[in-house]
């Protein structure tokens, strides 16, 4: 019997190449296009409008600190140091009062178009300073609301000014930069202007109404007042009455004089008219003696 030729047993198919192919397909499908090879530019992914708006709001956000608090905090520390530098006093205690807003004359008040316009705030704050118990001057700071920080500072050495500002009460503090003078404007009534400190006392002798002081400023600066439309109408109406008022008064007096004269004349001549009415007809023209003589 011929022996059958023996063949080696056939091994099963190797699974490694197939697994590599499947892995390659998964890599191509899963890996995003944005992860391309280095050096290949990728399109920028556009952020959602909500994210962009949130980032913009956070970048321009304004700190919520009150400017008055910022000024007061600065005064208690840096303000006291600034006063020591200007006065040369290093031993005595420096006292800073409560800050108050600084105002300026309104544009309409200066040009005369709004004579009663109230002063406007300028973003600065002032506080009276005293060394020991002696008033020495006024500390002024400018606060930037956006950054909530002090951007400028100054000290006005005037003891009387510090004393006046410390006792202002509810009055408005006004700084006239043109003449470096300080004033107080009382908000009630006719809005009276009062001089504060040495400089303004040389320019204003005593209290004066806001309207009158506006005229003083314009005369001092040689500026012609700008008249608003409402003022023009009021002045036109007042001018008409100013012209026609005296004329009507004269006419009324004349008519009254004529009426009084006529009534007086009628009262005086009344007896004569009554006597004439009682006389017979014709008796006042031909006497009786003449009538008898004609009959003879």
Q: What is the pLDDT of residue 262?
A: 77
Bridge partners (DSSP) of residue 152 are 142
Q: Is the pLDDT confidence value at 11 over 60?
A: no
Query: Are 75 and 96 a contacting pair, CB within 8 Å?
Result: yes
Handedness of CA 6, 12, 13, 15 (dihedral sign): negative
Q: Which residues contact 16 (CB under 8 A, 6 or more apart)?
A: none
Confidence band for 4, pLDDT divided at 50, 70 and 90: very low
- Most confident by average pLDDT, 41-50, 148-157, 214-223, 256-265: 148-157
C-alpha angle with apex 267: 264 to 269, nearest 5 degrees?
A: 110
Overall pTM surpassing 0.85 (yes/no): no
3-state helix, strand, coil in the chain (%, to 5): 45, 20, 35
Q: What is the pLDDT of residue 257?
A: 81
pLDDT > 90: percent of the chain: 45
Q: What is the pLDDT of residue 104?
A: 97
DSSP string, 103-127: EE--HHHHHSSSTTPPPEEEEEEEE
DSSP string, 141-192: EEEETTTTEEEEEEEEE-HHHHHHHHT-TTPEEEEETTTTEEEEE--STT-E
The pLDDT of 61-67, averaged and rounded, is 62
Residue pLDDT, tens place only, 86-134: 999 888 899 999 999 999 999 999 999 999 999 999 999 999 999 988 9
The pLDDT of 32-60, averaged and rounded, is 41
Q: What is the pLDDT of residue 27?
A: 45
């Amino acid at each position: 019997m011929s022996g059958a030729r023996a063949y080696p047993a056939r091994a099963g198919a190797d699974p490694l190449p197939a697994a590599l192919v499947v892995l390659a397909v998964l890599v191509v499908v899963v890996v995003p296009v944005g992860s391309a090879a280095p050096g290949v530019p990728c399109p920028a992914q556009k952020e959602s409008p909500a994210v962009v708006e949130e980032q913009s709001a956070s970048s321009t956000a304004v700190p919520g600190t009150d400017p008055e608090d910022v000024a007061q905090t600065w005064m208690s520390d840096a303000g006291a140091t600034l006063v020591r530098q200007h006065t040369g006093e290093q031993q005595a205690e420096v006292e800073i009062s409560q800050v108050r807003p600084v105002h300026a004359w309104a544009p309409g008040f200066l040009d005369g178009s709004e004579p009663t316009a109230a002063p406007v705030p300028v973003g600065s704050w002032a506080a009276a300073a005293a060394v020991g118990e002696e008033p020495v001057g006024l500390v002024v700071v400018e606060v930037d609301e956006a950054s909530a920080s002090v951007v400028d500072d100054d000290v006005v050495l005037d003891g009387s000014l510090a004393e006046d500002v410390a006792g202002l009460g509810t009055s408005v503090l006004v700084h006239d930069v043109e003449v470096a003078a300080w004033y107080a404007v009382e908000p009630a009534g006719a809005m009276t202007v009062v001089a504060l400190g040495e400089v303004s006392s040389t320019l204003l002798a005593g209290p004066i109404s806001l309207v009158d002081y506006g005229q003083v400023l314009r005369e001092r600066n040689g500026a012609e007042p700008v008249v608003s439309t409402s003022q023009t109408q009021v002045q036109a109406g007042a001018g008409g009455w100013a012209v026609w008022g005296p004329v009507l008064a004269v006419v009324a007096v004349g008519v009254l004089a004529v009426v009084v004269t006529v009534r007086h004349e009628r009262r005086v001549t009344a007896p004569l008219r009554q006597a004439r009415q009682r006389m017979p007809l014709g008796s006042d023209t031909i006497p009786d003696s003449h009538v008898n003589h004609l009959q003879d």
